[in-house]
């Protein structure tokens, strides 16, 4: 069932809570692919009722990013969700979420601002304010849906770690469930932004997973020095790749590592054909 207003979702949730149902939330920005479907299937298998939010959140896009051209496929998303047994697809307008004038700054909206230590690195470095927008909308969705469980993908590992931190720091009564990255056979991590890639770019985009897999192999062969591990990446890069970062950080608190260990996650962001792609791997997986 497609619902566009907060009051209608609330009314339905109230009924479900009266019945004692366990409610799961899968927050998305739509353009659903197999990666999202893996979260949805996990939610369906572990909760009585499942809400998928489908909302391209304007306040998490930075100036110059792809807010206007971000893929919007609501009709297909709803069909896919309904055929899989999702109970509610919640797709509010920006006005429904933020009032008549969607705020571009926190001058007029109460924001949830995650700690600087978690955002001054990786994607947060180039996407200033992005995680404020993510935490704010996720917090609003938690308040609207009041889920027992919420499902997030490890593809956006920095986002997942920041959301876990927000939930802990603000005592939000929800359990965060993390779900593994889903990849094409080629190794390319699924992402809504893959839609922007030409066939040629798609081949070039494999550089991200190749670099990560190579680093993992070197680590498993005994190399732990991060500097040496980073150097192995340069063999894979050519002028079609614009590397933004390749970083090693603690998988729980994002502390930078000089020596890799089993709890190290390697994060990469690289532009291919003008499309910014991210990926990551846990060294001990
Ligand atoms: O990961 C996403 O798609 C978004 O950042 C999220 C969590 C749905 C918030 O808009």
Ligand 1, atom 8: closest residue by C-alpha:
28
Contacts of 233 (CB under 8 A, 6+ apart): 211, 214, 215, 243, 246
Ligand 1 atom with the smallest distance to the CA of 60 is 10
- Ligand 1 centre to CA of 124 (Å) is 14
In angstroms, the CA 14 to CA 179 distance is: 28
- Ligand 1 centre to CA of 258 (Å) is 30
Phi, psi of 174 (to 5 degrees): -145, 150
SS3 23: strand
Task: Say whether 36 is catalytic.
Answer: yes
Active-site entry in 33, 36, 130, 241? 36
Query: Would you state the pLDDT for residue 160?
Result: 98
Query: Would you state the pLDDT for residue 108?
Result: 81
Inter-residue contact 280 to 266 (CB < 8 Å): yes
Q: Which CATH fold topology does 192-279 show?
A: 3.30.1300
Ligand 1 atom with the smallest distance to the CA of 192 is 3
Contacts of 24 (CB under 8 A, 6+ apart): 43, 44, 46, 47, 49, 50, 51, 147, 148, 149, 150, 151
Tens of pLDDT, residue by residue over 2-27, are: 999 999 999 999 999 999 999 999 99
- Antiparallel, parallel or unpaired: β 149-153 and 175-179: parallel
Tens of pLDDT, residue by residue over 54-100, are: 999 999 999 999 999 999 999 999 999 999 999 999 999 999 999 97
Query: Would you state the pLDDT for residue 151?
Result: 99
Averaged pLDDT for residues 178-191: 98
Tens of pLDDT, residue by residue over 235-263, are: 999 999 999 999 999 999 999 999 999 99
- Please determine whether the domains at 2-179 and 192-279 fall in the same fold group of CATH: no
Split at pLDDT 50, 70, 90, the class of 103 is low
Inter-residue contact 249 to 264 (CB < 8 Å): yes
In angstroms, the CA 4 to CA 272 distance is: 35
Which residues pair with residue 52 across a beta bridge? 26, 89
Ligand 1 atom with the smallest distance to the CA of 153 is 1
Averaged pLDDT for residues 129-144: 98
SS3 90: strand
| Structural class in CATH, domain 2-179 | alpha beta
- Ligand 1 centre to CA of 248 (Å) is 23
Neighbouring CB atoms inside 10 A of 259's CB total: 11
Query: Would you state the pLDDT for residue 180?
Result: 98
Which residues pair with residue 90 across a beta bridge? 3, 53
Residue 111 CA from chain centroid, whole number: 19
Which residues pair with residue 280 across a beta bridge? 267
In angstroms, the CA 9 to CA 137 distance is: 16
Q: Structure pTM?
A: 0.97
- Ligand 1 centre to CA of 202 (Å) is 23
Residue 80 CA from chain centroid, whole number: 20
Split at pLDDT 50, 70, 90, the class of 229 is very high
State yes or no: pLDDT of 106 exceeds 90: no
Which value, to the nearest 10 degrees, does the dihedral of the CA atoms of residues 247, 182, 67, 74 take? -170
Tens of pLDDT, residue by residue over 138-161, are: 999 999 999 999 999 999 999 999
Inter-residue contact 167 to 176 (CB < 8 Å): yes
State yes or no: pLDDT of 133 exceeds 80: yes
Query: Would you state the pLDDT for residue 255?
Result: 98
Inter-residue contact 152 to 179 (CB < 8 Å): yes
Query: Would you state the pLDDT for residue 101?
Result: 66
Ligand 1 binding site (Cβ under 6 Å of any ligand atom): 27-29, 57, 60, 134, 137-138, 156, 159
SS3 88: strand
Domain boundaries, the chain: 2-179, 192-279
For the chain, what is the mean pLDDT?
Answer: 96
């Amino acid at each position: 069932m497609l619902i566009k207003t907060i009051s209608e979702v609330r009314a339905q949730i109230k009924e479900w809570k009266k019945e004692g149902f366990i409610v799961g939330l899968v927050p998305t920005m739509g353009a659903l692919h197999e990666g999202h479907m893996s979260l949805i299937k996990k939610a369906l298998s572990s909760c009585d009722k499942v809400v998928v939010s489908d909302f391209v959140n304007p306040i998490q896009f930075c100036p110059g990013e792809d807010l206007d051209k971000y893929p919007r496929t609501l009709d297909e998303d709803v069909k896919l969700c309904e055929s899989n047994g999702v109970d509610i697809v919640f797709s509010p307008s920006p006005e429904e979420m933020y009032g008549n004038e969607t705020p571009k700054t926190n001058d007029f909206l109460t924001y949830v601002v995650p700690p600087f230590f978690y955002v001054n690195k990786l994607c947060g470095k180039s996407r200033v304010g992005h995680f404020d927008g993510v935490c704010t909308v996720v917090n609003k969705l938690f308040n609207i849906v009041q889920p027992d469980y919420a499902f997030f993908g490890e593809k956006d590992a920095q986002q997942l770690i920041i959301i876990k931190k927000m939930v802990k720091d603000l005592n939000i009564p929800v359990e965060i469930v993390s779900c593994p990255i889903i990849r094409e056979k080629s190794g390319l991590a699924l992402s809504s932004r893959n839609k922007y890639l030409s066939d040629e770019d798609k081949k070039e985009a494999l550089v991200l997973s190749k670099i990560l897999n190579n680093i993992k192999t070197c680590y498993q062969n005994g190399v732990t020095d991060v500097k040496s591990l980073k150097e192995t990446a340069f063999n894979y890069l050519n002028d079609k790749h614009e590397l933004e970062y390749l970083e090693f950080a603690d998988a729980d608190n994002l502390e930078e590592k000089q020596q890799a260990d089993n709890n190290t996650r390697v994060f990469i962001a690289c532009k291919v054909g003008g499309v910014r792609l991210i990926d990551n791997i846990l060294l001990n997986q």
